[in-house]
A and B are shown apart, each in its own frame.
Chain A
Amino acid sequence: MTRSTTTRSTTPPPRTLFDKLWDSHAVVTREDGQTLLFVDRHFLHEGSHHAFAQLAARGAAVARPDLTFAVADHYVPTRGRPAIADDSVRAMVDRLAGNTAVHGIRLFGLDDPRQGIVHVVGPEQGLTLPGLVTVCGDSHTSTHGAFGTFAFGIGASEVAHVLITQTIWQRRPKRMRIRIDGTPAPGVGAKDMALTWIARLGADGAQGHAIEYAGSAVTGLSMEGRLTLCNLSIEGGGRCGMVAPDATTIAFLRGRPFAPEGAAFDRAAADWLALASDADAAFDTEVSFAGEEIVPVVTWGTSPQDALPIDAAVPDPDRIADPARASHVRDALAYMDLVPGRPLAEVAIDRVFIGSCTNSRIEDLRAAAAVLAGRSARVPGLVSPGSSLVKQQAEQEGLDRVFVAAGLEWRDSGCSMCVGMNGDQVPSGERCASTTNRNFKNRQGLGARTHLMSPAMVAAAAVAGRLADVRPLLAGRI
């Protein structure tokens, strides 16, 4: 029997999860540092029309339709389907159907039982897998990083580039690790963790960085929670957000329609588990939080970084030393019609929205329903599940009846009131407690005032008719 006794003189340097993903996708690295990465999955939605126009202008073909998947989500109506009343909205949905048909790309269209928000459908179908590079012409593509895939949003010119070449040029970002250890209190979850770190580091706090989330509070999250956490990475400026694949990841993926099966799955799972950052791998930036310091938060301003614990008061711009920050706060409070010093829990709301790629998965709906069961909402609101399959499951669990009994509308799946492109909008001047990701001016409709928070906190706001702490409402329920 022969045994190799050669030992390499140099052991490979320890690598992070991100390094491993980057290295395994680099086709060419130029002297100037730009790297051509191979793209494993490319997701499209109605907004891809500019990219298809560029393709047409060049007379180019799609390189890998087998790795390209399209979903109708941004413009689809959430009731009265499949009819679309608004002509310009129907044109957007039809244009996607036309472009994907011409190029042989699979579409989960309005009539498909698997239709839903692209960042919900990818994971749900097992199209999103660990170890991949995943892109989409949408900034919340960071969501997919929950599986340990390098997933990031791109612009229309880049979408055209990926369609034509199945690659993308990138400069290697810096690596940041955000650790959250410990056990957050009941009723406190991934949304609170995300808004807490963004409030601390700022809306550009992670700019130029690939984020890896770690720590026991993160590994303790379900896949749904990890998806929420990674989804919001972009709101802190991150290039992407990721969680290393583990047993939770693998259990979620087993049996998903487009995921490998049988022996191929086991082989894949072994490869996926090896992606975790090496123990002594170095990060350019490290930040940590204690799970116990995470409490339910709400936003009060017009940037996701404008977040505070629910028991805090509206900030006072006159007490902020940095003039640029003070000017932002003043401007935000004017738009939000809030008075400095007023307790947040006294702010009355006009409506609620539960949905979007941040918080519309089954677990989000269960969390909201746990608060709403047997109670009524004091304000109107919409619930739009993240996918048609989530809708189906929620109905099997009777969650739809809880929402309807509380006085909320149970709708079909799509981006809906997150961005209002389909006409689901918050009327001007109204204040909405929302599970979405952006409280930008006019985001949910012209003059709409958005407060971001978790699904449980939106449910609490609905019951109270004002911003409210969910924790007392959960007593004896979870």
Chain B
Amino acid sequence: MEPFRRLDAVVACPLPLANVDTDQLIPARFMKQPRAAGYGGFLLHDLRFDTDGTSRGLALDDPAFAGARVLVARRNFGSGSSREAAVYALVDFGFRCVIAPSFGDIFASNAVNNGLLPARVDDAAAERLLGRTAAGHRVSIDLAERTIGCDGETIPFAVDDVWRTKLLNGWDDIDLTLSHTEAVRAFAAERAAMYPWSLPRDRG
């Protein structure tokens, strides 16, 4: 995974909606596709386009926000279904960071597993950022310092320490876990001996 460094004066796109669930981020019907073709085109598809494919004029499709790296939204972003495809759609579209007052739990950990930073700010800061980005102000993100710079203001954001380290280093959990293989094996053997009922009774 590519390490997350700084984002300097990048385009940020406002999405002034609360409860943007993962069903919105990527409608279920697109999830049969393999990732290779890219998921960016599916992002927020039904919110962005009418059934005949015309744009509904969201900032996301406004040329002024082309190349946006940061998305700003309201509360409870990424709630709902655990579909990691929601993160694929954001990442493949070009986003590296989503700023919101709160995130769905599973979405946030999926985001980190794909190098996308879920940055939490308070409601008031989110509202200010929505206004400023809508006015075209660019945004800088410093993950090491946990700050957002925009229009002369420095806004702190929250992100779990472990996630921050993981993003900064581009770490992959699986390699790390495999270094504990022996401990896991011993744990499993001990657990099976102590709580034999924890294993499924095999009915053949």
Contacts and interface: CB of A to CB of B under 8 A. Distances in A.
Interface of A: 24, 27-28, 30, 32-34, 36, 38, 40-41, 47, 49-50, 53, 58, 60, 64, 66-67, 69, 88-89, 91-92, 126-127, 129, 131-132, 137-139, 152-158, 160-161, 164-167, 169, 171, 202-204, 207-208, 234, 237, 239, 257-261, 264-265, 267-268, 271, 302-303, 305, 323-325, 327-328, 331, 419-421, 428, 438, 440-443, 446-447
Contacts of B202: 66, 258
Interface in B60-110: 74-76, 79-85, 87, 102-107, 109-110
Given A155-B110, A268-B197, A441-B23, A27 B180 contact: yes
Interface stretch (B2-10, B11-19, B138-146, B148-156): B11-19
Interface in B190-204: 191, 195-203
Contacts, number: 196
A258 B82 CA distance: 27
A132 B180 CA distance: 21
Contacts of B35: 50, 53
Contact of A36 (B46, B81, B184, B199): B184
Given A60-B174, A66-B200, 10 more contacts: A138-B82, A155-B84, A155-B109, A158-B110, A169-B177, A207-B102, A237-B104, A324-B123, A328-B17, A441-B46
Given A258-B203, A324-B74, A443-B23, A36 B104 contact: no
Contacts of B29: 420-421
Q: Which of A34, A155, A208, A237 has the most CB of B within 10 A?
A: A155
A362 B185 CA distance: 39
A258 B201 contact: yes
B197 A264 contact: yes
9 contacts: A28-B183, A32-B162, A53-B34, A88-B32, A127-B200, A165-B177, A203-B76, A204-B79, A237-B79
Chain B, interface size category, equals: 35 or more
Interface in B27-43: 27-29, 31-32, 34-35
Interface in B155-204: 160-162, 165, 173-174, 177-178, 180-181, 183-184, 187-188, 191, 195-203
B196 A260 contact: yes
A446 B46 contact: yes
Contact of A164 (B28, B174, B197, B198): B174
A126 B18 CA distance: 39
Contact of A438 (B23, B102, B106, B183): B23
A271 B195 contact: yes
